[in-house]
Amino acid sequence: MLAREPVAGAVKTRLIPALGGAGAATLYRAFTEDLAAELGARFPTTVACEPTGARPYFRRLGARYGLDLADQGEGDLGARMRRAAEDALAGARRVVILGSDAPTLPMDTVRAAFSALRGHRIVLGPSLDGGYYLLGLRLPVPDVFTRMPWGSARVFARTLTRLRRLGVAPALLSPWYDVDTGDDVQLLARHLRVLASCGQRPCPRTTRALARLGVRA
């Protein structure tokens, strides 16, 4: 899981118009802790975090949820993801990389990604915003990390084009969403409300943070 320290004004900046800097950081902290709790209970998990200033926060997170820590290193998102994948594949047969802004992602989806990697070199989880929320690898595919318009709605489509040119057929998971904008926060709140009405209560820290911030579906 790639994550950043939840510092007001420095994380989830597209949420600031809706929640303010402190509110965006509060919600992001809840995302990170909910995912850390779920992943740490089910999978050997490493958090790739920022190399400077964030270690005390992440040391506490790792100790609480049984997670390993690694530095993301420098470069754009692609360079950091490639580094995380290569480091993981040096000691494991399969790796799944997640962001830290999809708190409702079912852990069954992560299991499905690992299962898909038994027969595929790469697995992708397309995001509703045109990117992807998950990427899994059995062997390195470095070209999917370079020259990408990160943060745009073209990332998933361009990744598929690259893979076709490489002759690599990816496994595809069900689409899901991550939370980047005020509209995404409203979707998240509605989703959690519906899940609660069905007796399901995932990501409790995120639910509490939304309530504290006064977010209503």
Q: What tens digit of pLDDT does each residue of 89-118 get?
A: 999 999 999 999 999 999 999 999 999 999
Q: What pLDDT, on the 0 to 100 scale, is given for residue 52?
A: 53
What is the rounded CA–CA span in Å between residue 43 and residue 80?
21
The pTM assigned to this predicted structure is: 0.93
Task: Tell me, yes or no, whether 104 lies in a domain.
Answer: yes
CA distances from 28 to 142, 185, 195, 204 (A): 29, 11, 20, 13
Domain span including residue 167: 13-212
Q: What amino acid occupies position 62?
A: G
- Whether the per-residue pLDDT at 54 is higher than 70: the answer is no
| Within-domain flag for 41 | yes
CATH of the domain at 136: 3.90.550.10
| pLDDT score of 56 | 87
Residue 50's pLDDT is what?
76
The answer to the question of residue 53 being in a domain is yes
Tell me, what's the pLDDT at 55? 75
Burial 71-95 (b: 16+ CB within 10 A, else e): bbeeeebbebbbbbbebbeeeeebb
- Kindly state whether residue 66 falls inside one of the protein's structural domains: yes
Residue 34 pLDDT exceeds 60: yes
Question: Which of 24-28, 45-49, 132-136 is predicted least confidently?
Answer: 45-49
When the pLDDT of each residue in the chain is averaged and rounded to a whole number, the result is 94
pLDDT value at residue 51: 65
Establish if 5 belongs to a structural domain. no
Count of CB atoms situated within 10 Å of the CB of 139: 12
The pLDDT value given to residue 125:
98
Residue 73: predicted pLDDT: 86
Which tokens belong to 153? 């709605």
